[in-house]
Chain A
Amino acid sequence: MLTEQLLSIGVNHFLTISVILFGLGMFAVMTRKNAIVILMGVELILNAANINFLTFSKYNGGMEGVMFSLFVIVLAAAEAAVALAIVINIFKTFKTVDVSSVDTMKE
């Protein structure tokens, strides 16, 4: 039974992986101070999302998931570019990428 479960790769497997990726990404974004790592976390989250898209689109036979995962990737690229640019600017200004120390707008 369980072996059968394990052997027949189904929706749940993919969802589980995506959840784990999402969790890890979330963790990175929440806890790490280094802006770069945070960005990586974001990428993880996006990937998790992508996996979900594709999973459901596969097992439902629609093309929507596929298309959207495509868009997600594009946007992820854009996001990464802009975000890194910002990070570099922050580094220029504050000589650090420690986001917790970049709190000029606080109060």
Chain B
Amino acid sequence: MNQLTIAIIFYIFAAVTVLSAAFVVFSKNVIYSAFSLLFTFFGVAALYVFLSADFIAVTQVVVYVGGILVLLLFGVMFTNTIMQTELKADVLHMAPGILVTLLLIGGMLFTFYTTGSWMPGEMQLNGSVVESIGLETMSRYMLPFEMVSIVLLVALIGAAFLARYDKANKK
């Protein structure tokens, strides 16, 4: 397929990502933002594919969409009763927020485009990286990998502990 189609697909996904992200941020309703976050994640996953990191894309979908998003949704369920009319989380200092955000984005973009254009290196990743990920994980990133797994374990246990039904409070 030619460059044009790739470009078009890319722009579509980019648009999806950005717009849904924007919806996540600006929607008054937490439920809506949670669901639109789903689309953001998908979009980002797609972008990963463009970056020829298919494994990461899959992980993204599995972990985020399958895990984090569900968690978030549960959080929403726990903390707001759906029935309650106003789920809208009102906002804190809106104006400065927007201003700062825009300035931030503008500043960053400006930096990107002014500080010399990025020249792609001579060799680029192509095709699937799954195999090399496996190699890296088992060789160079052995220690960080284990660490991260431990961290994850601890975090999950901790989360379970924190969120568990506390008898002491009910007594």
- B25 interface neighbour in A41, A59, A74, A78, Cβ under 8 Å: A41
Complex contacts, A40 vs chain B, CB 8 Å: 24-25, 33-34, 37, 72
Against B, the Cβ 8 Å flags (1 = close, 0 = not) of A6-47 are 111111111111011111111110111111110111011001
Closest Cβ of chain B: how far from A104's Cβ, in Å? 16
Judge whether A54 and B18 touch: CB under 8 Å.
Answer: no
**Chain A positions near chain B (C-beta within 8 angstroms):** 6-17, 19-28, 30-37, 39-41, 43-44, 47, 50-51, 54-55, 57-61, 63, 66-67, 69-71, 73-82, 84-89, 91-92, 97-98, 100
**Chain B positions near chain A (C-beta within 8 angstroms):** 3-4, 6-7, 10, 14, 17-18, 21-22, 24-25, 30, 33-34, 37, 40-41, 44, 47-48, 50-53, 55-56, 59-60, 63-64, 67-68, 71-72, 74-76, 78-80, 89-94, 97-98, 100-102, 104-105, 108-109, 112-113, 117-118, 120-125, 129, 132-133, 136-137, 141, 144-145, 148-149, 151-152, 154-156, 158-163, 166, 169
